[in-house]
Amino acid sequence: MRLTKEQAEQNRRTIVETASRLFRARGIENVSVADVMKESGFTHGGFYNHFASKEELAAEAVACAFDTATSNFAEMVSSGSDPRKALLSALAAYLSPEHRDECAEGCPATALQADVARTGANIQQIYATGIEAYLDILAAPIEGDKRKSRQEAMSAISAMVGALSLSRAVKDGRPELSDELLSVARKHFRRLIAELVPKRKPAPSGADH
């Protein structure tokens, strides 16, 4: 039976989303095309009806992971009327034991950094676009000029990814250190955000007082 265009597109999305989870959980190099297709519920041979190579799939999977992660993060940061509270909540979720323990559904900036460093320019450009999206989200609530806000956002994403990466690296061998790395990072951001982010959004111009 010949697939409709809509079903073929849905199958492709399923493969990309499955690869996105598997790559984050195990690493790009440790997941084969056969693994992805089996987990997606399709035959190995059907892969080439959708993709020319594993690299093409990896590029789309990395983009998919960042699209989901940054959309979720942006939604958390923009929620409510208190930008300081919203950003703190988003960072606390990022630097939580739950996020540390769930690579497959977590941030690709942390889960895929080592893999992407060993890929070519195409996938690295996609990863960089994802990092830029995080920078825009983090810089938006920070007071000051754009250049300073971007620099602070760069410092923040580096601290976020670094703390989460280190915490994952020692989770089984030194669980107390793993928890401490996350806890100290959360405390650091509480102090930093108190300095950089206004507590509440300003009232609209012309609003009654």
Q: Where are the domains of the chain?
A: 59-196
What is the structure's pLDDT at 81? 85
Q: Which of 75, 70, 99 is nearest to 86 (CA)?
A: 75
pLDDT digits (tens, 9 = 90+) for 59-115: 999 999 999 999 999 999 999 889 999 999 999 999 999 999 999 999 999 999 999
For residue 207, is pLDDT > 70? no
Model pLDDT for residues 165-199, shown as the tens digit of each residue: 999 999 999 999 999 999 999 999 999 999 999 87
How large a percentage of the chain has pLDDT more than 90?
85
- Quickly list DSSP for 34-103: HHHHHHHTS-GGGGGGT-S-HHHHHHHHHHHHHHHHHHHHHHHHT-SS-HHHHHHHHHHHHTSHHHHH--
Chain mean pLDDT for the chain: 93
Residue 209's pLDDT is 42
Q: What is the pTM of this model?
A: 0.89
User: What is the third-level CATH fold of 59-196?
Assistant: Tetracycline Repressor; domain 2 (1.10.357)
